[in-house]
Chains A and B, each alone.
Chain A
Amino acid sequence: MNRRAREQPVGSSGSGLLLVLEYVTGCVLVLVVLALACLTLAAYVPKIDWGLTEAQQVVGILGLLTAGLALVSIVALLHTRRRT
């Protein structure tokens, strides 16, 4: 390992923006897990009325999953960049 890499561990939080992004990402991941719990419930109890059409539910869960993927990707890339 070179000296620069020794000074700061890879993945340590460096900036305020990164901390905010991590917080938002964490919230979205929690929402994804909750959505999957609802999905499982809807699979076994299909008569539950969620107040949304099937298309709205599908778009909602696709949007949530896409947001989760995008945020985790951004945070992961920021974490693995070479620091100066």
Chain B
Amino acid sequence: MHESPRPAASANPDDPLLSADLAPEDRAYLADHALKKPLRVLDIWALGVGAVITGEYFGWNLGLNGNGPVAMLIASLVVCLLYLTWVLALSELSVAMPFAGGPLAYGRRAVDPSLGFVMGWSMYLECQFATIATALATGGYIAFLLNPDHPDPHVQVWAALGTVAVFLVLHIWGVKEQSAAMVWMTYGAILGLVIFWVAAATHFSWDRIWTHPLLPAAKGWKSVLDAVPYALWWLVIIETVALAAEEAHEPQRTIPRGLVWAQLTLIVLVVLTWLFACGAMDSQEIAVTVRDGREEPVNYPLAKIIRAIPVGRSKLLVYGFGGIALFGMIASYHGMVFGTSRQTFAMGRAGYLPGFLGSVHATRRTPVASLLATSFITAACVVANLRFPNAIAVAVLVSTLTALIWYILAMGCLFVLRRREPALFGRYRTPVHRVLPVTVVLLSAFAAYVYSGIDVKVIPLTALLYAIALIWFWFFAHGKLRKAAPEELTARQSTPGLDEPNP
């Protein structure tokens, strides 16, 4: 799969590895495992918005259950601030270490391979579970389109599997081709939201938003805390863009500009979607539906709202919106596949996961093995959804919880590296230099803390996934790390004492 050496890794004069004193076999290994660098600001913006825009279409609405619209708004703005500060702080790390391994590289360089593995694994779990949730939700929207009154769970699963297969092929095809598709899908997803806002505005009432009391009497401010884990779904996964740094042209400018513009776009989308959704329908009905005397989560909230309001009597609007909404789902699915596959690729390339995951296609330079492996896991979980109807809620919560874990760890790495290697951050420095990363840590800790109070118990599942991974790392991978992988190489350059045989 990788017989064709190409000098891609050293083609860029700003490549941090260019100055490395490499052995010929290490240089050959890097060249053989290198990605192209075609991404510019528009591509990064599209990747950021597209990866996250699914959050506007489903998932967030579960936070309205028992909490009301005002609590959801406060939780959403807290999350918007968390992500705005997070992408800026992440840009500093991402530009300093523009590798597909992202968090793996940060933890590896700041502390040691164990932390690198934990951070890389966290991001893998975040992306993998988000991919599963989004594939299922895409299938849910398709099932809704085919039968709005009684969406068939089997149709949902088959449609989700079709999505997995189509995007596997597209990703194997090539990163530039994906990026062009991503830009157009992102435009389509935003158009879908605009159609929703206009339709929902025809049935808008402030009384549904500014309720009396503002917060549910039984819960008070606790309702804000309960809404936070679901509000995270608005914006989680935007950090997959950091993984694109290895494939970005001029990453020191492309990554921060693309990320900031993407984040600002998303904040506008979040507020307007919340406003028009909650203004058009009672918030409790947006969150859950009662079927056979049981409450079930609503997996296609915007379509449900459109169908319920008077303008939704038009079949053209219902089916037109449902069709365009698919752009939102598949745009995000596309970005999540990017994140999942790049993380497993980087961890395989560096020896933290089985080595075959780190191979790239000889001519297209895409990580085929990692794409196949992660798509297979997604497909298996999609099929398992037939037995676990709460799969989407669980996947959303595991994804957001594992995300928060590595956000906090990444900020720790930033502080360690700023003190130990200030020259590393010469190409980009985040604004509000000290307070901003501290804010990220505190807001992430706040968001992680509220998981202890929600109904869906995801902490044991998440802990199990970390335990399995750590057993793998300590007993099988720890002694087999590849010194020639970019994440390993730069870590060893920075700390020469580490350049010794692995234990």
A residues within 8 Å of B by Cβ? Answer: 1-2, 5, 9-12, 18, 22, 25-26, 29-30, 32-33, 36, 39-40, 42-44, 46, 54-55, 58, 61-62, 65-66, 68-69, 72-73, 75-80, 82
Give the contacting residue for A5; candidates B77, B84, B253, B432; CB below 8 A: B253
- Report the minimal beta-carbon distance from B502 to chain A, rounded to whole angstroms: 34
The 8 A CB mask of B184-215 against A (1 = contact, 0 = none) is: 00000000000000000000000000000111
User: What is the interface size of chain B, counting residues whose CB is below 8 A from a CB of the partner?
Assistant: 46
In contact, B70 and A58 (Cβ under 8 angstroms) = yes
Most chain A CB within a 10 A radius of its CB, from B70, B81, B443: B81
Q: When chains A and B are docked, how far (Å) is the Cα of A1 from the Cα of B267?
A: 30
Determine the chain A residues whose CB is within 8 A of the CB of B77 once the complex forms. Answer: 62, 65-66, 69
Contact A72-B81, Cβ < 8 Å, known A61-B74, A77-B260: yes
Contact A79-B431, Cβ < 8 Å, known A61-B74, A73-B84, A73-B264: yes
In contact, A43 and B73 (Cβ under 8 angstroms) = no
Given A22-B433, A46-B221, 8 additional A-B pairs, CB 8 A: A1-B427, A9-B429, A36-B78, A43-B225, A58-B70, A68-B81, A73-B267, A80-B256
In contact, A1 and B435 (Cβ under 8 angstroms) = no
Contact A29-B252, Cβ < 8 Å, known A39-B221, A69-B77, A69-B267: no
- Report the minimal beta-carbon distance from A54 to chain B, rounded to whole angstroms: 6
5 contacts between A and B (CB under 8 A): A26-B432, A44-B222, A46-B220, A69-B267, A76-B256
- Nearest CB in chain B to that of A72: its residue: B84
User: Ordered nearest first, which 8 A-B pairs have the shortest CB separation?
Assistant: A26-B435, A65-B77, A11-B429, A43-B221, A43-B222, A42-B221, A75-B431, A80-B257
Is B85 engaged at the interface, CB distance under 8 Å to the other chain?
A: yes
In contact, B432 and A29 (Cβ under 8 angstroms) = yes
Q: When chains A and B are docked, how far (Å) is the Cα of A73 from the Cα of B435?
A: 15
Is B462 engaged at the interface, CB distance under 8 Å to the other chain?
A: no
Most chain A CB within a 10 A radius of its CB, from B13, B70, B221, B442: B221
Determine the chain A residues whose CB is within 8 A of the CB of B85 once the complex forms. Answer: 29, 72
Q: When chains A and B are docked, how far (Å) is the Cα of A73 from the Cα of B87?
A: 11
B residues within 8 Å of A by Cβ? Answer: 13-14, 70, 73-74, 77-78, 80-81, 84-85, 88, 92, 95, 213-215, 220-222, 224-225, 250, 252-253, 256-257, 260, 264, 267, 426-436, 439, 442-443, 446, 449
Determine the chain A residues whose CB is within 8 A of the CB of B221 once the complex forms. Answer: 39-40, 42-43, 46
In contact, A1 and B432 (Cβ under 8 angstroms) = no
Is chain A's interface secondary structure helix, strand, loop, or mixed overall?
A: helix
Q: When chains A and B are docked, how far (Å) is the Cα of A66 from the Cα of B78?
A: 9
In contact, A11 and B428 (Cβ under 8 angstroms) = yes
In contact, A12 and B429 (Cβ under 8 angstroms) = yes
In contact, A33 and B442 (Cβ under 8 angstroms) = yes
Q: When chains A and B are docked, how far (Å) is the Cα of A25 from the Cα of B73?
A: 22
Determine the chain B residues whose CB is within 8 A of the CB of A65 once the complex forms. Answer: 74, 77-78, 80-81
Q: When chains A and B are docked, how far (Å) is the Cα of A32 from the Cα of B74?
A: 12
Most chain B CB within a 10 A radius of its CB, from A30, A36, A44, A46: A36
- Nearest CB in chain B to that of A68: its residue: B81
- Report the minimal beta-carbon distance from B225 to chain A, rounded to whole angstroms: 5
- Nearest CB in chain A to that of B427: its residue: A9
Contact A76-B431, Cβ < 8 Å, known A9-B426, A36-B78, A69-B80: yes
Q: When chains A and B are docked, how far (Å) is the Cα of A5 from the Cα of B271?
A: 35
Contact A40-B225, Cβ < 8 Å, known A68-B81, A69-B80: yes
Q: When chains A and B are docked, how far (Å) is the Cα of A55 from the Cα of B70?
A: 10
- Report the minimal beta-carbon distance from B67 to chain A, rounded to whole angstroms: 12
In contact, A76 and B435 (Cβ under 8 angstroms) = no
In contact, A39 and B429 (Cβ under 8 angstroms) = no
Determine the chain B residues whose CB is within 8 A of the CB of A61 once the complex forms. Answer: 74
In contact, B215 and A75 (Cβ under 8 angstroms) = no
Contact A25-B224, Cβ < 8 Å, known A10-B253, A54-B215, A72-B81: no
- Report the minimal beta-carbon distance from A81 to chain B, rounded to whole angstroms: 8
Q: When chains A and B are docked, how far (Å) is the Cα of A64 from the Cα of B73?
A: 13
- Report the minimal beta-carbon distance from A39 to chain B, rounded to whole angstroms: 5
In contact, A76 and B88 (Cβ under 8 angstroms) = yes
Q: When chains A and B are docked, how far (Å) is the Cα of A1 from the Cα of B254?
A: 11
Determine the chain A residues whose CB is within 8 A of the CB of B73 once the complex forms. Answer: 62
In contact, B224 and A39 (Cβ under 8 angstroms) = yes
- Nearest CB in chain B to that of A65: its residue: B77
Q: When chains A and B are docked, how far (Å) is the Cα of A9 from the Cα of B260?
A: 17
- Nearest CB in chain A to that of B87: its residue: A76
Give the contacting residue for A10; candidates B70, B214, B428; CB below 8 A: B428
- Report the minimal beta-carbon distance from A64 to chain B, rounded to whole angstroms: 9
Most chain B CB within a 10 A radius of its CB, from A2, A43, A68: A43
In contact, A80 and B14 (Cβ under 8 angstroms) = no
- Report the minimal beta-carbon distance from B333 to chain A, rounded to whole angstroms: 28
In contact, B214 and A42 (Cβ under 8 angstroms) = no
- Report the minimal beta-carbon distance from A74 to chain B, rounded to whole angstroms: 10
Q: When chains A and B are docked, how far (Å) is the Cα of A46 from the Cα of B435?
A: 30
In contact, A30 and B435 (Cβ under 8 angstroms) = yes
- Report the minimal beta-carbon distance from A38 to chain B, rounded to whole angstroms: 9
In contact, B256 and A33 (Cβ under 8 angstroms) = no
- Report the minimal beta-carbon distance from A37 to chain B, rounded to whole angstroms: 8
Determine the chain A residues whose CB is within 8 A of the CB of B431 once the complex forms. Answer: 11, 18, 22, 25, 72, 75-76, 78-79
